[in-house]
Structures are given as C-alpha cells and as structure tokens.
Structure 1
Amino acid sequence: MIKELFCVRGSGYAGQPRLYDTCGLENIWLVDGFHVIRRNGEEVLQIEDPEGLHKAIALHLVRFRKSLTGREIKFIRRAIDLTQGELAHQLGTGVQTVARWEKDKVCIPGPEDRLLRIITLLATSDAENFAKLILEMPTNLEDLDEGPDRPVRFTHDHDHDHRWVEAEREAA
C-alpha cells in the first residue's frame, strides 16, 4: 500500500489534490499552496515556499517513517542542503555508501539512520523544539508498526514566520 501525504496551504485552491512527483517522491500530494502554470505546453506546479515545504516533508519523514527508502534519504539530504560528500562526512561514512543507500542497493544501518534523523531534526526545527523531538524519536519510531497508515497534511502557518508545518493528524 502506498502511503499518501497531503500537503495543505491556506484555503485558496478549490481543485483536486495534485501529485507533487517532481520532488522525487511518489506519494506527495498538494491540496493547495501552488499554482498550475503552462510551460512548453505542459502543466507545471509552481509551489509557494518550496524550501519550507521540503523541510516540512523531510521533518515528517524522519519523525514518522520507520524505514527510510533510498528516495526518501536522497530527498532528505537535498532538503537539508547537503551533498553526498557532506552527508557522508557528517555520518562518518563514505560517499559511495551514501550513494548505495540512495539507490536502494543497501539499507542504511541503525546508527547512521538515527544520526541522519538527528541531523535532519537539527536542520528543520527550531532550538526550542529540537530537544523535544529528539526525546520523542525512539518512542515515535517504535510505535510506527502499530499505527495505521494515514494521509498527512501540511499547512502554511501564518502565525509563526509563514512556514509550512504538519497539520493535526486526522482520526482513523
């Protein structure tokens, strides 16, 4: 079963959710927060604050995905603005190892997985929430097998520096 993420921003878009496949992930849907433009005869999504959206998606991935796929690792690395070499250095591994994770040739080992999550939390959350998120992480990851798959929504929070944040989770 493919898990679908629904991203929400404001309330201006009244159309159908649109697949955001240009981000490199297959399961990201945008409800609004974008404009459809025509470029060379094709419809293209123009995202409002794409960096903020990518950081919100990366934050969701490291908090709520028990096992990260190669595409998700690559997405996270790009969202936190690191090259493969920079990520390899921070994780204490080699560039080719990171490339193999991103191509799903090998799974990311536990210690590197946790450190990647911590690096991502540091890059995507403010100092006030960082410690809280770190303390929650082991419990969140252990509970993932028990919970049902749910769509995830993101909203553009106008009260806090106009950034994308995950909306409240819907009941099953």
Structure 2
Amino acid sequence: MYHYTECGLDNVWLANGYTTKTTAYGKAVSVADADQLQALLAERVVSKPARLSGKEFRFLRVQMGISQATLAKTQGVSEQAVSLWERHGKVPKANDALMRLCYLAHAQGDEPLREAFNRVMEVERLIHQKIVATAGPKGWKSTVEEEPTERLAERPAVAT
C-alpha cells in the first residue's frame, strides 16, 4: 500500500492504481487517473459527518482551483482567517458548510459559481499589479506588470 500524502491529506492510502520507479533523484510514484482519484477523495471529504479539518478545507479549495484570497472574499472573511483555518484546522461551522456547498456546486459544473470565482480572481489579479517606471532620454515611461508574489503564484484559473 502506498501512503498518498501528495494529495495534501494524511489519511489516504492506495491499495493499487499506482506504479513506482527508481530515478536518479529517488523513488517516483505515478498514480493512474489522478484527477478521478482527487474527485473521489473530495466526495469523501465533503460527505464526512464531522467538521472539516484544515487540510481537508485546503484540499477542497485547491480542487476548486481558487486562491485563499478569492475564497475569503466569497465567504466574507479575511485571507488571514482562511490561512489560519487551513493551518490550524479550526473552521467555523458556517464556513465549513459553505465550503461543502461551494465544492458540490463546483463539482456539478455550476457555471455561475465558476464565473463568480473567476471574476473575484480577476479583480485580485488586477489589484496586484505593479507599475514599473523607466527613465529614458525622452523622459519617463511606464509599464504595468503582475506582481511575482507567492500569493499570486497560488492562484490558478478555475477550470471550466
């Protein structure tokens, strides 16, 4: 059995459906149809009776392809609150329930939900731009660039 920690959860073991290979960098593991496996794990997480752990909360957020900032805005909390929940696992009941509902709608292909998340992420992207001013022989010129921050690197587009 393989302890599948790469998904971000500590309690997942694979009985089969994976192959291991020794490389120059150590052992490498390949999981068959990883997307289907991730969806199955998300279904299990969403349907569990107990409150979500921080790792489970993060797992669902990542499965939806949204950033902490986007999730925070859509749940009416600060980005720091989402970060704390994910690190320490104390997710308030209302936010736990809202996350489960958001994931279920996302998994069923709810286009209005995906569009709403994409709009929030686009606004975040536009807010976090930097203006680069350059002095030249004919005066100043400026360009606008996205800030290469770790926060922005975590923000993948929501799959449609």
TM-score by length of 2: 0.62
- 1:22 pairs with 2:6: yes
Give the secondary-structure state (helix, strand or coil) at the position aligned to 1:103.
helix
Report the Cα distance in structure 1 between the residues aligned to 2:75 and 2:39, rounded to whole angstroms.
19
Report the Cα distance in structure 2 between the residues aligned to 1:88 and 1:81, rounded to whole angstroms.
14
The answer for unaligned runs of 5 or more in structure 2 is 111-160
Alignment correspondent of 2:102: 119
Counterpart of 1:33 (choices 12, 17, 22) is: 17
Counterpart of 1:49 (choices 16, 33, 58) is: 33
Report the Cα distance in structure 2 between the residues aligned to 1:83 and 1:27, rounded to whole angstroms.
24
Report the identity percentage.
27
CA RMSD of aligned residues (A): 1.8
Deviating above 6 A after TM superposition, structure 1's stretches of 4 or more consecutive aligned residues are none
Instruction: Output one character per residue of 1:103-126: Cα deviation in whole Å (capped at 9) or x when no partner.
Output: 11x621111111100011112246
**1:97-112 matches, cutoff 5 A:** 97-104=81-88, 107-112=90-95
Alignment correspondent of 2:45: 61
TM-score by length of 1: 0.58
Report the Cα distance in structure 1 between the residues aligned to 2:84 and 2:67, rounded to whole angstroms.
14
Q: Which structure is higher in RCO with an 8 Å CA cutoff and minimum separation 6?
A: 1
CA, structure 1 residues 47+112, in 2 after alignment: closer, same or farther (shift >3 Å)? same
Give the secondary-structure state (helix, strand or coil) at the position aligned to 2:77.
coil
- Which amino acid in 2 is paired with 1:86? T
Aligned residue pairs, count: 110
> Are the aligned partners of 1:70 and 1:102 in contact in 2 as well (CA < 8 Å)?
yes
Alignment correspondent of 1:70: 54
> Are the aligned partners of 1:59 and 1:124 in contact in 2 as well (CA < 8 Å)?
no
Report the Cα distance in structure 2 between the residues aligned to 1:65 and 1:58, rounded to whole angstroms.
14
Report the Cα distance in structure 2 between the residues aligned to 1:38 and 1:65, rounded to whole angstroms.
39
> Are the aligned partners of 1:56 and 1:124 in contact in 2 as well (CA < 8 Å)?
no
